[in-house]
Structures are given as C-alpha cells and as structure tokens.
C-alpha cells in the first residue's frame, strides 16, 4: 500500500477530507496520512480509540512516535492525557489502551535504529496557553511545538526530506484548522501565518531519510 508516498510532493489533508478506516482491532480506527507498506508499514496516521479499546503487548522494531490529541491514552499501567508527547524507541514493547477513548497522532517505523531513550513530555495544554518548545532534537530530526500569536508569521528553511506540520489549536493560513496535516518537500522555505486566534502546531523538520525496518 502506498499513500502520499512521493516525498517530493506537497500534501495538505484537512479534517473534512478524513477517511476513517477500521484497524484489525475492534474499536480502533485510523486516518492514513501517509503510508508505505501493508499492515506493518512505515506510516503516519491519526488513530482513534473507542472507550475500552486495547491492544495486547507488542513491539515496534522501527519505533513509534505519539502525540495525544484528545482523551487519555494508556500504556500498561501509565496514563497519558491530551497534550502528551511520547517516543518509544526501536525494539520497545508496549500494551496500549484507552478506558475513556483517545485521539492520537502516530508515526511508525521512522526512527533511527540507534535511538534508545524513551521520551514522555507534556507538550501542550489543550485548554490553556502553550509555549513554544523543542520536544526532540538529534542529528537526524527535530520536533518542535510552535505557538504563534494572532497573525504572527513563522518561517522555516526546509531541509532533509521536508517538514511536517499538524495544527493543534487555532488556524494557520490557507484555511488550515485544527487537525490539518501538511507535508512540504525539501527546498526553499516554509511560511506559516496564524489566524486571528493564534495557532499552535507540531513541526517535524530535518528528518533525512525514511526508515524501512520490518515491523511485526
């Protein structure tokens, strides 16, 4: 399966374009934003857990990056409320579930094999002010949480395989409301301008390759 697999192309997916599809697990649905592979794929998705949905323990040979957008996501005996940023390094094992339901932004099989340190951070406040902060930075990629005031502009040089943006609060220019996902190819500069209520967005940049570990 190949969905938005040409990284030289600009992609924008807004909420009105979402197509929710069932996963193999009852109660878990996803919007496939980009994907290379079958059920075990290099993938970027929005994932929605119905209340009570759960997976058995399983590993992620290529790693897993999660941003909790709504509800409460649980992993074994640890709960992560909306606004939490997680990185599960390659080879890690987890047992995800959600008692109350949750909405996640998930990236699979996109980490370097020498990444070993799990990360658990409070990234943003869904109901309050959110400062700009760096969530992750190494020689391969950088992940930032960007907060803009009303009509404030943000510019970024695009290197690596491009930049990815997920709008979390407010609105960006070109009519990009919350949950809009953008992927811009390398070269040139990205320019984002907040709307009248400001904007908060996830920004991944500098990632220089697509990891293709086999995932089980």
Give the mean pLDDT of the chain. Answer: 91
Q: Please give the average per-residue pLDDT across 1-23, as a whole number.
A: 95
pLDDT value at residue 81: 98
pLDDT at 209 exceeding the cut of 60: no
Cα–Cα distance for residue pair 46/108, rounded to 1 Å = 11
pLDDT value at residue 193: 96
* pLDDT band, very low/low/confident/very high, at 39 (cuts 50, 70, 90): confident
For residue 107, how many other CB atoms are within 10 A of its CB?
23
pLDDT value at residue 215: 34
pLDDT value at residue 64: 95
**Does 2-122 carry CATH code 2.60.120.10?**
yes
The reply to whether 133-205 shares the fold of 2-122 is yes
Q: Spell out the domain ranges in the chain.
A: 2-122, 133-205
| CATH of 133-205 among 2.60.120.10, 3.50.50.60, 3.40.50.720, 3.40.50.450 | 2.60.120.10
pLDDT at 169 exceeding the cut of 80: yes
pLDDT value at residue 90: 92
């Amino acid at each position: 399966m190949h969905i938005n697999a040409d990284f030289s192309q600009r992609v924008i997916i807004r909420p009105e374009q979402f197509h929710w599809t069932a996963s193999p697990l009852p109660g878990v649905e996803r919007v496939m934003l980009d994907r290379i592979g079958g059920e075990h794929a290099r993938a970027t998705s929005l994932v929605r857990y119905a209340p009570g949905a759960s997976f058995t323990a399983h590993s992620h040979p290529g790693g897993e990056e999660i941003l909790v957008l709504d509800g409460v996501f649980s992993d074994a005996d640890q709960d992560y409320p909306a606004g939490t940023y997680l990185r599960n390094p390659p080879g890690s094992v987890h047992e995800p579930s959600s008692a109350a339901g949750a909405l996640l932004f998930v990236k699979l099989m996109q980490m370097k094999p020498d990444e070993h340190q799990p990360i658990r951070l409070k990234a943003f406040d869904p109901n309050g002010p959110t400062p700009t902060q760096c969530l992750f930075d190494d020689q391969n990629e950088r992940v930032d949480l960007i907060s803009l005031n009303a009509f404030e502009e943000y510019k970024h040089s695009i290197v690596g395989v491009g930049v990815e943006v997920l709008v979390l609060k407010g609105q960006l220019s070109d009519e990009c409301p919350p949950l809009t996902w953008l992927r811009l190819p390398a070269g040139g500069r990205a320019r984002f301008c907040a709307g009248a209520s400001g904007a908060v967005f996830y920004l991944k940049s500098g990632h220089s390759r697509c990891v293709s570990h086999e995932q089980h």
